[in-house]
Structure 1
């Protein structure tokens, strides 16, 4: 009698596709996290023009003779001001070692034991920051020799800790005494090492499981359990899966034509125009080296010599009200795309 019980080899043969797929998802997620952490434009990034970025502050410091050196792996900090934007991504021993070599060290919102308060306008309440005046501070509170802004900014020797990065951002720099406070903290020496740690820094100190968010760990566990269940289910089948042909094969062109007829019957010229414009932007952005959700109007105007307002109206303007207007829009989008490709 031949045993029909599932063997380990048989279970692996049936489940390996799902197991490998789960591992690919986990590895892809980790790579995405590592890659996005190093992309330009994050919070408190001196290169970023976004509201949460700090390009305005970097320019202000440079205009006052401070040499701003942005880095994601600080090493040479001797005699400089060290500004660490995300200290919790670093080992505390590494932070203290760097602080011991720098002339002044400013840490933004490391975890603290004291508590949290709202980020709002606060008075300094200390001699150290008295000349800066009221500023947008708050966040985490700390203990130290000299406490300012309700203990959300403290100084302990040459180490300064502030509970929020709000005063350093493009959005808040011009409010209250934020600029004065930022210059007070970061402009004391000719050289400023602007250290924005990334997940890559943490990866040098942590193992792969430590780097994975909790949600990814739960997701990986669920994938493994699902793979086991599917393997057991497939192992109980006594024959191969029967492949049946579809009763009807529909050509892609017929699907497109059918949808077009539905748009026409419902007089949905506006919806059709929106789909056409989105498709044009999806094709143009990769050609221009822009992100998929970016606005290509300025770059198209620069490359083709067209008026930027006219290009924006073509890609984002009012929808046509009839089929004639829709046809004209299609022709204009085709012409624009050809110009970009030829340019």
Structure 2
């Protein structure tokens, strides 16, 4: 009596957790997080580039940015040196009329060098300013710029000797007779000082050592103070705060590229950056999980042979196809003929001729001859090689 086994119970249903995962929470709230990040970014940008914050003014004694020289001006005032910031030739001339002063020139874009050259007193010219041939007669600028780095003075100028190494570069100069050159480069000097008609003119190739960013490095502060603290008040000439209302003695107005830009160009640039970031985030998102495929993929040998044959035909590679057919035939026939893998052509041809009774010259031409000239010759070669193999296999 046969007993039928009861059916197997169904497998228990797979349990799935209904609690939210990190991925599901991110998908649900990512737009909210993105909007929050953009809001914070716009707020930070508004604080940094608000209407009350103007651009930096290089070597300006009232500018506290890295490019300004507020720190140097305060150090000079702490030593009892009077520092007067002016932005016109007229103001500089008015101060010069009150007594002997040192004129510091850092920018000549908006000034007339001929009007400025009539101001008496010593001059300190920083940078390769316009009109150097008028403000510093006899000075020639060496072609090319000099990489700014820490340099040794290598001169006898007291201000440079006391300061030691300083961050110098920019331009190198050659001065007239009696010039003392310091911080040399390529035959020129990045700081020169020479007498001229009862006054002293000093020219420096780059004013980075006077900026707030570089003042605390090396002997930069000592060099700047030594050049400016001469016991006389300093007239510090800077570019005008409002260039269109510059000094009227400077001739025709010259506007900078910043004056030609629209007022909202900064906001437009920042909005473009934000839009580009949002577009990159939107288009760069993942398209889904990577699809896996079981390997190895089985491909029939006939498909592989047919594919390679089509490639050879498309490239007209008859010689390569013939070499492949011949090499395969020789590899299969050599062990059947009792020959080793290193057997030469004469041995293979002689063994095949003895086994099959074929003409040795015909066999040699088929296995080691020149490549076929056309597709018909290649087909004929393949047929003959197959004929030889079948004959050897049947014997």
Alignment TM-score, normalising by the size of structure 1:
0.47
Higher Rg of the two aligned structures: 2
Q: Normalized per residue, which structure has more helix?
A: 1
Q: Which has the higher contact order (CA 8 A, sep 6+)?
A: 1
